[in-house]
Amino acid sequence: MKKTCANFSKTGKSGILNIRSRNIALTQTPESGLTFEKVWAAIQATNEQMKENDRLLKEAMKETDRFLKEFMQKTDRQREEADQRMAETNRQMKETDKRFGEITNRFGEMVEYMVVPNMVVKFRELGFEFEKTHRDTVIASKEHDIFTEVDAFLENGDKVMIVEIKNKPSVDDINDHVTRMEKLRAYADLHNDKRAYLGAMAGVVFNAGEKTYALKNGFYVIEPSGDTFSITKPEGKYHVREW
C-alpha cells in the first residue's frame, strides 16, 4: 500500500521486528499570514486600550462627582442665603406692620379723644340729648355667646348711640358694625333694655362708596369738616335704622 508509514523487516537471529517511522510535518502556514504572535499582540493591545478607557472613564466620573458636589454646595449656599434674606425681609415687614399698627392705634385713640367729647354737641344739633358717654366699652355674656367692643357709647333714657371709629372705614368694617348692633340688641333684650339702639360710623377718611354704604345700612356718618367734624343723617332713599 502506498500510504504505509513504516517499513517492516526482520533482522538477525532475534526475529525482532524493526519498525522505522517516517516524520510527518504538523505545522502549516496560513495563506493570510496570521500568526499566534500577531493575535497575541492584538489581544494585548486591546487589553491596554480597555485599561486606558477604564482609566479615562474613572477620571471622568471623578470629575463629574467633583462638579456635582461643588454645584450642590453652591446651590445649598445660595438657598441658605436666600432663606436668610427672606427671613430678614419677613422680620422687617413684621416690624413695619407692628410700628404701623402702633401708629394707627395711637391715631385712633387721638381721634376718639378729640371726637367723642364733641359728639354730644353735634348730636344735639340733630335733636338728641345724650346724658352719658362711654369709651372703649366691652359688652359680654359668656352664657349667651355674646362678645363685642364699642368705641363710643352715648345714651339717655330713650336711645343709645353706638359709634364705631376707624381711620378709613371699609365695607367690611360697616358690615362688622351691623353685626355688632345685632349683638347689642340681643344683650339689651337679656337685660330688659327697651331703648332704641342706633349706629354711627366715624372715619378720618371716608370714601364716597363706603359713606353711601354706611348710610344705606342706616348709620349716621361722622367725618372731618374743616376744623371740626360733621354728622350726616341717612335721609331721602336712606333711613335711620333702629335696633
Residues 173-188: tens digit of each pLDDT: 999 999 999 999 999 9
User: pLDDT band at 111, cuts 50/70/90?
Assistant: low
Task: State what percent of residues in the chain have pLDDT above 90.
Answer: 36
User: pLDDT band at 97, cuts 50/70/90?
Assistant: low
Q: State residue 117's pLDDT score.
A: 74
Gap between the Cα atoms of 89 and 83, Å rounded: 10
Could you tell me the pTM of the whole model?
A: 0.56
The mean of the pLDDT values for the chain is 79
Counting DSSP H helices and E strands in the chain, the numbers are 3, 8
Gap between the Cα atoms of 202 and 219, Å rounded: 10
Range picked from 42-46, 51-55, 220-224 for highest mean pLDDT: 220-224
State the cell numbers at 174: 360697616
Which range is least confidently modeled, 40-44, 166-170, 210-214?
A: 40-44
Can you tell me the mean pLDDT for 121-143? 90
Task: Check residues 81 and 2 and name the one with the higher pLDDT.
Answer: 81
Q: Is the pLDDT of residue 30 over 80?
A: no
Can you tell me the mean pLDDT for 202-228? 90
**What are the angstrom distances between the C-alpha of 113 and each of 109, 186, 212, 232?**
6, 29, 26, 20
Residues with Cβ within 8 Å of residue 12, at least 6 apart in sequence: none
Top CATH class, 115-232: alpha beta
CB 155: neighbour CB atoms within 10 A? Answer: 17
Gap between the Cα atoms of 202 and 115, Å rounded: 9
Are 181 and 162 contacting, i.e. CB atoms less than 8 angstroms apart? yes
Gap between the Cα atoms of 166 and 105, Å rounded: 10
Closest CA to 203 of 221, 185, 178, 179: 221
153-156: long-range pairs with CB below 8 Å, 24+: 154/119, 154/120, 154/123, 154/128, 154/130, 155/130, 155/131, 155/195, 156/128, 156/129, 156/130, 156/131, 156/132
CB 241: neighbour CB atoms within 10 A? Answer: 16
| Signed CA dihedral, 174, 189, 135, 99: sign only | negative
Residue 149, beta-bridge partner list: 138
Q: Is the pLDDT of residue 238 over 60?
A: yes
